[in-house]
Amino acid sequence: MHMPGVEKRGSLEADSSVSLTDLVAAGHAGNKDGFMRVENDVDGKPRTILKELDENEYKIYTQLATSFADDPMQEFIPCCHGVREDLDEDGTTLRRNLRMDNLLFNYKCPKVMDVKVGSRTFLESECMNKKPRADLFAKMLQNGLSEYLTEEEQRVEQITKYRYLSTEDANTTSVELGYRIEGIAGYRRRSRSRVKSELRAIRNQDDVRPQFQQFAEICATNDGQSEESEDEVSAATVARRIESRLRQFSAAAQCSAFVAQHEIIGSSVLLVADSTGHADVYWIDFAKTFPCSTGITHRSPWSLGNHEDGFFGGLENLMECWGEVGGAMITKQLSEGFSDVESVRHSRARSIAIGPLIEGDEECSNTDIALLSSLSIGQYDELMEEVKTGASTLTRITSDVGEETIMRSTAAVMLELRRSDGRMLAQLGKVENDTLVPLCVLPGSKVHDGQDVRAALQDVIDAKLAPIASVIHFGSTVSSVKQHPSSYFGIDTVYRQIYRTSR
């Protein structure tokens, strides 16, 4: 990340000002006056924005460009192009701004969701600041938090910054989930006040899911404006792409020296998508990010002095919720996307000549035999055994154009075991016929029909991890749904994967 110095310019009378709520400041959060300006390049293209300078944020961007130039998080962080000073005719500085990438430049009518990650939005130093503020008192009233004001605060009509921020955190999902939806921009048919009111009513993950689903649906259709567009993608595709990028973001954060060495307060994960299917995740807002030498885990509960911020826990919960939303949307899409879906339940097959039976039929289906004819007898027997035990389900699907295929569905549970030093347990290989076959998989197994996920995980622990069972403690759960041909059977398969982390 190149980091230019200070650029001095004359008056900016010709520059256009853009409301923060319209653009979410082209992907960046505003400060104090609440707006930013889009800066056009020499060719007239708005590739950069001007964000009010915060000295610590500028310092963080400088560190990222120098000490952490190769950090894996660079993929998600917008480029900072230095500081721009606007001068009046006498050469006096009018304002100083960070010049940042316009994250929305390559999108078509983008929708933006600002998700603040972490279990608190206040610095430890702010806990000690006893200065009362009338503006924050007014915000408490405006945000419907008057019941949390003390008699003294109501009498003087002032409140400290710590009291305001901690009360705000406790009345959103920040404390419970480690993240909260801070704002949404780009909707055409929903007013800002309505969106803001809906976001303020969110208290738990059940409240979050409809907002994520609605965001994906509005992104996919440009708020209903692109229903006939040839390049329109499905809402499920948008959700899956966001979840995928969140997973990549989280994986990079786990390996990041920058994340490991900093207390991260008030930063945001920015979700951006449009109806062309362009969707991505960015990391912004570092005004409250500071180096920390206490060895924070980004997971442990916060207490004054330990600087824990809940960053990793919030990311995991965010991924889990998007996984659930994407999975539900894919299931809905599959059920609605075909004109004729017939459930195929099988009995144990004696040979390839005896095909699977469609429920309700008394005779074998030659169609089903033909659709599975590519399988060897060994593969066929294995597939039938999976169906018999409920580990897999086969469905004959007839598309709108009359093409018939067999789709396999299966569910698996995996346990992500991590030690306190961050190392993770994985199986690197297995011996088959005296030959070492390389693998890289988490401990897990298929989930049989009607089996509880926790029971399936316990079976994995009992069978494979018994020596360390006493030190395994379940943490968060993340679900994902993917569809692609089975590498073994060659059949198009919907995989529902459930990851359970340990702590």
Nearest to 54 by CA among 307, 311, 290: 290
Q: What is the pLDDT of residue 3?
A: 62
Q: What is the pLDDT of residue 430?
A: 80
Residue 221 backbone zone (phi > 0: left; psi -120 to 50: alpha; other: beta): alpha
End-to-end CA distance of the chain: 35
- E strands, 221-362, in order: 262-265, 268-273, 279-284, 288-291, 340-344
Under 8 Å between Cβ of 379 and 325: no
Alpha-carbon dihedral 303, 306, 179, 482, rounded to 10 degrees: -120
Helix (H) or strand (E) holding 161: helix 161-170
CATH 3.90.79 domain range(s) in the chain: 340-502
Give the pairing of strands 492-502 and 474-485: antiparallel
How does pLDDT run across 219-233, given as a tens digit for each residue?
A: 999 887 765 444 567
CATH 3.30.470.160 domain range(s) in the chain: 111-119+178-335
Burial of 91 (0-12, 13-18, 19+ CB in 10 A): exposed
Please say whether the dihedral angle defined by the alpha carbons of residues 364, 367, 368 and 373, taken in this order, is positive or negative: positive
Residue 16: how many other CB atoms lie within 10 Å = 10
Q: What is the pLDDT of residue 327?
A: 81
Distance, CA of 443 to CA of 347 (rounded, Å)? 29
The DSSP call for residue 445 is E
Cα 72–49–182 angle (5° rounding)? 70
Q: Which residues of the chain have pLDDT under 70?
A: 1-5, 8-36, 226-232, 331, 333-374, 377, 399-401, 449-453, 476, 503
Q: Which CATH class is domain 6-101?
A: alpha beta
Q: Is 17 helix (H, G, I), strand (E, B) or coil?
A: strand
CATH 3.30.200 domain range(s) in the chain: 6-101
Helix (H) or strand (E) holding 72: none
Token code pair at residue 481 = 């749904």
Q: What is the pLDDT of residue 467?
A: 82
Helix (H) or strand (E) holding 103: none
Q: Which CATH class is domain 111-119+178-335?
A: alpha beta
The DSSP call for residue 302 is P
Q: What is the pLDDT of residue 257?
A: 95
- Give me the CATH topology for the region 340-502: Nucleoside Triphosphate Pyrophosphohydrolase (3.90.79)
